[in-house]
Amino acid sequence: MTAIAFETLGLTKSFGRKTALDGLYMSFEEGLLHGIVGPNGAGKTTLMRLVTGLLKPSDGRVLFRQADAALSQEDVRPLLAYQPQRDHLYADLSVGEHLAFFRDLYGLPRPLYKERRDRLLSITRLEPFVDRLAGQLSGGMYKKLGLICALLQGPALLLLDEPTTGVDPISRREFWDLLHGIVETGEVTIVMSTSYMDEAERCSRIHLIDAGRMLLEGEPHEVMADQKVYSLDEIFLSHEEGRK
Beta strands in the chain (DSSP E): 4-15, 18-28, 33-37, 59-66, 69-71, 80-83, 157-161, 189-194, 205-210, 213-218
| pLDDT confidence of residue 197 | 85
Is pTM beyond 0.85? Reply is yes
Q: What are 19-69's pLDDT values in tens digits?
A: 999 999 999 999 999 999 998 889 999 999 999 999 999 999 999 999 889
Q: Dump pLDDT digits (tens) for 106-150.
A: 899 999 999 999 989 988 889 999 999 999 998 888 888 998 898
Is the pLDDT score of 164 beyond 90?
A: no
pLDDT higher than 90, residue 205: yes
| Residue 188 Cα to chain centre, angstroms | 11
Do 44 and 193 meet the contact criterion of CB atoms below 8 Å apart?
Answer: yes
Q: Is 45 helix (H, G, I), strand (E, B) or coil?
A: helix
pLDDT score, position 32: 96
Beta carbons within 8 Å of 55's beta carbon, 6+ residues apart: 13, 46, 49
SS3 184: coil
**Residue 231 binned pLDDT confidence (cut-offs 50, 70, 90):** confident
238 vs 146, which has greater pLDDT? Answer: 146
* Residues written for the chain: 244
What is the pLDDT confidence band of residue 243, given thresholds at 50, 70 and 90? low
What local confidence, expressed as pLDDT, does residue 87 receive?
A: 74
* pLDDT tens sequence across 65-102: 998 899 999 999 999 999 988 777 899 999 999 999 99
* pLDDT-based confidence at residue 196 (cuts at 50, 70, 90): confident
Distances in Å between the Cα of 77 and the Cα atoms of 31, 43, 123, 156 are: 18, 22, 26, 10
How many contiguous H segments (helices) and E segments (strands) does the chain have? 9, 10
| The pLDDT of residue 242 | 63
Please tell me the CATH code under which domain 4-42+50-56+68-243 is placed: 3.40.50.300
Predicted pLDDT of residue 244 = 59
What are the pLDDT digits (tens) for 207-230? 999 999 999 999 999 999 999 988
Catalogue the long-range contacts made by 167-170 (C-beta closer than 8 Å, 24 or more residues apart).
Answer: 167/139, 167/140, 167/143, 168/138, 168/139, 168/140, 170/140
Q: How confident is the model at residue 241 (pLDDT cuts 50, 70, 90)?
A: low
Extents of the domains making up the chain: 4-42+50-56+68-243
Which residue type does 189 have?
T
* Beta-carbon contacts of residue 129 (< 8 Å; ≥ 6 apart): 95, 137, 141
pLDDT value of position 109: 93
